[in-house]
Structure 1
Amino acid sequence: MSATLLVTGASGQLGRGVINHLLDTFEVPAARIIATTRTPGNLADLAARGVTVREADFDDHASLAKAFAGADRALIISTNELAIQGKRREQQLAAVAAASKAGIGHLLYTSLPNTEPGSAVLFAPDHFDTEQAIKASGIPYTIFRNGWYDENLFMAMPQILASGQWYTSAADGAISYGARDDLAAAIAARLASDITESTTYTLTGPKAYTSAEVAALVTEVTGKPIQVVQLSDEALTEGMKASGLPEPIARLLVSFDAATRAGDLGMVTDSVETLSGRKSVPLKQFLEANRAALAG
């Protein structure tokens, strides 16, 4: 295969992971890889390896047109614009339009499990509309509905361990935690392939865990007990606001608990292992390897 492969958001953690796997796991020649980012200077090390680095600002349509030029297969990594409602949708639809105009032969996109109308996750419509735009473009596609990263535990776990209490409204809902690098390997494998048929994959970890089960694992690894405290969505939102979080962010975070409670994040598939050709890292092994990060 001699296709030119493009990755947006290449300075982010997932984008970096995908490119590293393209280069080191699947041995794609650097000359066939285009890494795009708003901050090209952050990718100087990739440029030094021979990767083509281009600026791509999802708010600048002209930069997108230049960024996608000459690519055969392109991975659009969903943006992290969450502060302004609808902004992420606009950005991603602009990227899909740019890919279409550039004549991309296969378009890959990182989405969210259960994006259909009715999802409790507040930004699920951004992903749903992007998926629909990709399908309407007529470009053969691969949609990756990425599950919950193990690394997301680093955001709240230091505070949870410090207080000994985990406030949640997820009830007995489970999340299929997966290591970001495992998902990156699966995505890179599909991007590097010559497969052209349109497919949607849900990428998850190897097992789903409730909050109580995660708390037990973290306690086993760190030796620090955690009491899981179940609240209503409203009470959890008010508690987050009282701790200093802006209301839009608090509501967004609580929407993930609501989605977990509804079962939207608990599905388990073997797609990561099937695509990557390697075993997924179990959550306990991940926690043991990242014990220091858990404590903040």
Structure 2
Amino acid sequence: MANFANSPLLVTGASGNLGRLAVEELLARGATKVIAGTRDPAKLADLAARGVEVRKLDFNDAATLPAAFAGVERLLLVSTDGVGTRVAQHKAAIAAAKAAGVKHVVYTSAPAARPDADAGLNPEHFWTEIELAASGLGFTILRNHMYAENNLIGVGHTIASGQLFGLIGDRGTSYVTRADAARTAAGALLTADANTVEDVTGPAPVTNVERAALLAELSGKPVNAIPLTPADLKAGMVAAGIPEGFAEALVAFQRDAVTGYHGAVTDVVERYSGRKPQGFADFLAANKAALAG
């Protein structure tokens, strides 16, 4: 396996949750030329003090791109949070990387990325993957499955109500922790040298019924999985105050769990990080305090 620990390595979105963890992992694994890209360099002053080169990088500001990518050999392109605009942002980053002579790009995508109109946010990832594959750059596409941390959002209300809503026919989701995904991305940046598309998953799929049972066990309160149709699930989300567009994206994700797209299990985390992914039950137990709301 190749080792690029001494190559100039750039991580975009380095002040975000995943990007920051990836930078930390690169340092822990001996990378010597780590570059952290961020819209606000002041947020990474502590990393700069540890020898990380911090560069201003804003995909919406073309003037920042040439200097941000200069001299970079390998790039971790962390997908942005610009829903609706991130294809343009990613295309700008890929074009700038190619112009700067970057050799390999690791991109954090999503499972079952495809152009289907009813695929929620997946088309944005799909078209980024297409752009990257057509760029002529080396690439490793990491399709990160749903982060386990997403289960902590609103979990207090779920436990208080005793109801976990989901779609009829759910076949499970192989939740992966953000830390495992970040370690995987850092490992790919350090070692990947072939064009690949790989799913980044937890160790086993977890169904809504199993999630409800785990929440009940850890909280000591009854929690039941309530299966709904897509229309009813979306209506409930909107009634709870979730914007309609985002509710549709969440329902689309659950439709993919019914289809089986989210039940895949791979060894990608272990292969790139050198450690087995944390199981979902262990993750919830480690975050038991959050279950109180």
Using structure 1 for the length normalisation, give the TM-score: 0.94
Q: What is the rounded CA distance, in whole Å, between the counterparts of 1:237 and 1:171 in structure 2?
A: 16
User: Quick one: structure 1 residues 145 and 273, their matched pair in 2 at CA, closer, same or farther if it must change by over 3 Å?
Assistant: same
Q: 2:215 aligns with which of 210, 215, 218?
A: 218
Aligned to 1:11: 15
- Paired residue secondary structure (1:109): strand
User: How many correspondences in the alignment?
Assistant: 289
Residue type at the aligned position of 2:26: L
Tell me the equivalent position of 1:191. 189
Q: Distance in 1 between matches of 2:256 and 2:194?
A: 30
For structure 2, the 5+ residue unaligned runs are none
1:50 corresponding residue in structure 2: 51
**1:28 maps to 2:25:** no
Q: 2:272 aligns with which of 267, 270, 275?
A: 275
Q: Work out the CA distance in 2 between the residues paired with 1:256 and 1:146.
A: 13
- Aligned in 2, Cα 1:213/1:120: closer, same or farther, shift over 3 Å? farther
Query: What is the CA-CA distance between 1:139 and the residue it aligns to?
Result: 0.6
The separation in 2 between residues aligned to 1:139 and 1:184, in whole angstroms, is 22
1:54-93 mapped onto 2 (5 Å cutoff): 54-82=55-83, 85=84, 87-93=85-91
Q: Which moved further from structure 2: 155-164 or 140-149? A: 155-164
Distance 1:120 1:214 in 2: 25
Deviation at 1:79, TM superposition (A): 0.5
Deviating beyond 6 angstroms after TM superposition, the runs of 4 or more aligned structure 1 residues are none
Q: Structure 1 residue 35: deviation in Å?
A: 0.3
Is the contact made by 1:170 and 1:211 (CA closer than 8 Å) also made in structure 2? no
- Corresponding letter in the other structure for 2:64: S
Aligned partners of 1:121 and 1:215: how far apart in 2?
A: 26
**CA–CA distance in 2 between the matches of 1:119 and 1:113?**
16
Q: Give the equivalent residue in structure 2 for 1:164.
A: 162
Unmatched 5+ stretches in structure 1: none
CA contact (8 A) 2:170 2:254 kept: no
Tell me how far apart the structure 1 counterparts of residues 135 and 265 of structure 2 sit (CA, whole Å): 30
Q: Distance in 2 between the 1:294 and 1:133 partners?
A: 41
1:265 counterpart SS class? helix
State the alpha-carbon separation in 2 of the partners of residues 89 and 74 from structure 1: 17
TM-score, reference length from structure 2: 0.95
SS of match in other structure, 2:153: helix
